[in-house]
């Protein structure tokens, strides 16, 4: 590549990113999932589009897709709160294993008997589309207020189910003899176990190191966190385990480890996640050949209909039966099983392996994802309201930034009071911070001053709180409690604080 070609490539990439960023705003206003806009950009640039770019490298698409999925899972893990998800782990794991198995069987039967695919092709399609997409689910959960239990179940499922599905698709797409079902199940469990062990180990070791090593610049912490998360994937995959499970678990541990500059770490990961989504979807749009999709449109619609109204609800019903989850929440979890780029990426695996009919598998999966994302994504908020499961809190959580003060064995906490926080109107003295902590500065309307115990806090204030190391966690808990419950937080129960 010459310097001139590099300049042109950088210009094109920057323009695509700018259009994609603008598309997020359009998506948030219209309810149209942003992934479809990104796919549309890729299709418009492709061989049947405006620029007639010819791209058919499925292997490169698969490699870039894997890399993007690693970043997306890392971003999702960093933003997952352990206190919310821990009670839903058994449900998420059951949906990711038993639920996926049921969905594969039912969907494969539909692809075989209704569309006429042979059993191998049908099972590949069933496995590919049975995985909910982490990027789609995480992006929807950011803008649809759902009950904590529903949100945590969806986060756990989307974070965990990529791992077993990838193993199944790779096994079915192998050119050699496919293992017996019990051998395949054993391989899946072994890879998941190895991946979980590697992810947990890397997460705890990385968190231990970052809490005790004072880096010279705050901007190095986000880089270090992402490097640790990516290394978890690489080590897990190298050890013949599930790298996707490794990166998600390691990231979740890092995200809940109270690391220095935690909001900046998550913000950096979120930015990388957006870039990964944009690049992945645009590349998938380039790979597809639109004039070939018409032949497989109705086949995709039939398979998707069975997946959406039979396979997914049945897998949710069976998987959630032991957990006594209300029927309304089961319906919402079933409908929120969104598909996105992950199934399309997985559909490139049989293409790279040279499986017969792999191009048709890719086309069916592509159409299915587009059609049913258009149906499920915009209607999810409506369904949540219809089921009376759309929750909106009266109080916003606080954003707290932590910077280590190594020599003083203390921490400087930066607290921003959001618009709906119940800390508004509370006096500084009424915060009743633990001994060893104090509000040292208030920034209001771009002016800073040292507060008195009687100073009333207001929306939009930024507080600088100094806390010694032993009471740092208690200070954060107290500030969040006041932000949620106001000055009476000490006497209100958890339900009242929410």
Looking at 386, 421, 451, the residue that finishes a domain is 386
493, pLDDT greater than 50: no
Alpha carbon distances (Å) from 347 to 42, 88, 178, 230: 17, 30, 18, 23
Mean pLDDT for all residues in the chain: 86
Continuous H helices in 132-180 = 134-143, 148-160, 162-172
For residue range 460-475, list pLDDT tens digits in order.
899 999 998 888 888 9
Q: Based on the domain organization, do 433 and 374 belong to the same domain?
A: no
Yes or no: say if 352 and 63 are a contact pair by the CB < 8 Å rule: no
Q: Based on the domain organization, do 77 and 178 belong to the same domain?
A: yes
**353 token code pair:** 């392996």
For residue range 206-247, list pLDDT tens digits in order.
999 998 887 878 789 999 999 999 999 999 999 999 999 999
Which pLDDT score, from 0 to 100, does residue 219 have? 85
pLDDT band at 391 (very low <50, low <70, confident <90, very high): low
Q: Based on the domain organization, do 213 and 134 belong to the same domain?
A: yes
Q: What is the mean pLDDT of residues 14-19?
A: 88
Percent above pLDDT 70 for the chain:
89
80, pLDDT greater than 70: yes
Q: Based on the domain organization, do 282 and 317 belong to the same domain?
A: yes
| Angle ∠(322,327,331) on CA atoms, nearest 5 | 110
Residue 145 counted as domain residue: yes
* More confident: 147 or 201: 201
Q: Estimate the share of the chain in helix, then strand, then coil, as percent rounded to the nearest 5.
A: 70, 5, 25
Least confident piece of the model among 54-63, 79-88, 320-329: 79-88
Residue 393 counted as domain residue: no
Which pLDDT score, from 0 to 100, does residue 249 have? 95
H or E element in which residue 461 lies: none
35, pLDDT greater than 90: no
Q: Based on the domain organization, do 339 and 443 belong to the same domain?
A: no
Q: Based on the domain organization, do 53 and 105 belong to the same domain?
A: yes
**How many domains, in total, are found in the chain?**
2
- Which domain CATH number covers 310? 1.20.1530.20
Q: Based on the domain organization, do 369 and 432 belong to the same domain?
A: no
Query: What is the span of the domain harbouring residue 491?
Result: 399-497
Nearest to 258 by CA among 469, 482, 497: 469
Looking at 351, 386, 421, the residue that finishes a domain is 386
Looking at 386, 407, 427, the residue that finishes a domain is 386
Yes or no: say if 97 and 164 are a contact pair by the CB < 8 Å rule: yes
Least confident piece of the model among 98-112, 197-211, 247-261, 369-383: 369-383
Which pLDDT score, from 0 to 100, does residue 19 have? 85
Q: What is the mean pLDDT of residues 82-111?
A: 91
Which pLDDT score, from 0 to 100, does residue 496 have? 38
Continuous H helices in 239-347 = 243-255, 262-287, 290-293, 297-306, 312-320, 327-335, 341-346
497, pLDDT greater than 50: no
CB-CB neighbours of 204 under 10 Å: 14
Q: Based on the domain organization, do 382 and 412 belong to the same domain?
A: no
pLDDT band at 162 (very low <50, low <70, confident <90, very high): confident
For residue range 312-370, list pLDDT tens digits in order.
999 999 999 999 889 999 999 999 888 877 888 899 999 998 888 999 999 999 999 99
* More confident: 409 or 257: 257
3-state secondary structure of 29: helix
Q: How far apart are CA 45 and CA 281, in angstroms?
A: 12
144, pLDDT greater than 50: yes
pTM above threshold 0.85: no
**258 token code pair:** 């109270």
Residue 129 makes CB contacts below 8 A (sequence gap 6+) with 107, 303, 304, 307, 339, 343, 365, 368, 369
Percent above pLDDT 90 for the chain:
41
483, pLDDT greater than 80: yes
205, pLDDT greater than 90: yes
């Amino acid at each position: 590549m010459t310097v001139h070609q590099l300049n042109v490539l950088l210009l094109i990439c920057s323009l695509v990113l700018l259009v994609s960023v603008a598309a997020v705003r359009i998506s948030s206003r219209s309810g149209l999932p942003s992934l479809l806009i990104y796919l549309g950009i890729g299709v418009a640039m492709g061989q049947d589009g405006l620029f007639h770019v010819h791209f058919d490298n499925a292997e490169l698409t698969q490699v870039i897709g894997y890399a993007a999925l690693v970043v997306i899972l890392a971003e999702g893990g960093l933003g997952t709160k352990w206190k919310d998800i821990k009670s839903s782990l058994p449900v998420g794991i059951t949906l990711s294993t038993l639920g996926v198995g049921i969905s594969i069987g039912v969907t494969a039967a539909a692809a075989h008997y209704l569309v006429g695919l042979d059993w191998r092709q049908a099972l590949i399609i069933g496995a590919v589309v049975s995985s909910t997409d982490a990027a789609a689910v995480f992006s929807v959960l950011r803008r649809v207020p759902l009950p904590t239990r529903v949100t945590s179940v969806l986060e756990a499922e989307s974070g965990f189910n990529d791992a077993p599905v990838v193993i199944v698709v790779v096994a079915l797409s192998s050119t050699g003899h496919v293992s017996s079902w019990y051998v395949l199940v054993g391989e899946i469990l072994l890879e998941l176990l190895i991946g979980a062990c590697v992810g947990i180990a890397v997460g705890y070791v990385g968190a231990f190191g970052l809490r005790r090593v004072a880096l010279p610049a705050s901007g190095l912490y986000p880089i270090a966190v992402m490097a640790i998360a990516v290394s978890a994937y690489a080590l897990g995959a190298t050890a013949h385990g599930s790298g996707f499970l490794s990166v998600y678990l390691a990231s979740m541990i890092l995200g809940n480890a109270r690391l220095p500059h935690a909001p900046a770490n998550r913000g950096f990961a979120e930015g990388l996640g957006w870039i990964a989504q944009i690049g992945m979807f645009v590349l998938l749009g380039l790979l597809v050949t639109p004039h070939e999709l018409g032949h497989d449109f109705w086949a995709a619609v039939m398979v998707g209909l069975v997946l959406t109204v039979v396979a997914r609800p049945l897998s949710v019903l069976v998987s959630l039966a032991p957990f006594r989850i209300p029927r309304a929440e089961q319906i919402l979890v079933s409908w929120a099983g969104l598909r996105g780029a992950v199934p399309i990426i997985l559909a490139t695996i049989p293409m790279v392996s040279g499986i017969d009919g792999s191009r048709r598998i890719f086309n069916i999966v592509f159409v299915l994802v587009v059609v049913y994302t258009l149906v499920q994504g915009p209607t999810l908020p409506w369904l949540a309201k219809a089921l009376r499961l759309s929750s909106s809190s009266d109080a916003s959580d606080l954003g707290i930034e932590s910077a280590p003060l190594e020599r003083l064995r203390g921490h400087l906490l930066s607290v921003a009071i959001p618009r709906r926080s119940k800390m508004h109107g509370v006096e500084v003295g009424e915060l009743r911070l633990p001994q060893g902590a104090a509000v040292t500065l208030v920034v209001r309307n771009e002016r800073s001053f040292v507060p008195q115990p009687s100073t009333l806090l207001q929306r939009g204030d930024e507080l600088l709180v100094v806390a010694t190391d032993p009471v740092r966690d208690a200070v954060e808990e107290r500030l969040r409690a006041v932000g949620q419950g106001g000055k009476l937080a000490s006497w209100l129960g958890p339900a009242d604080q929410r």
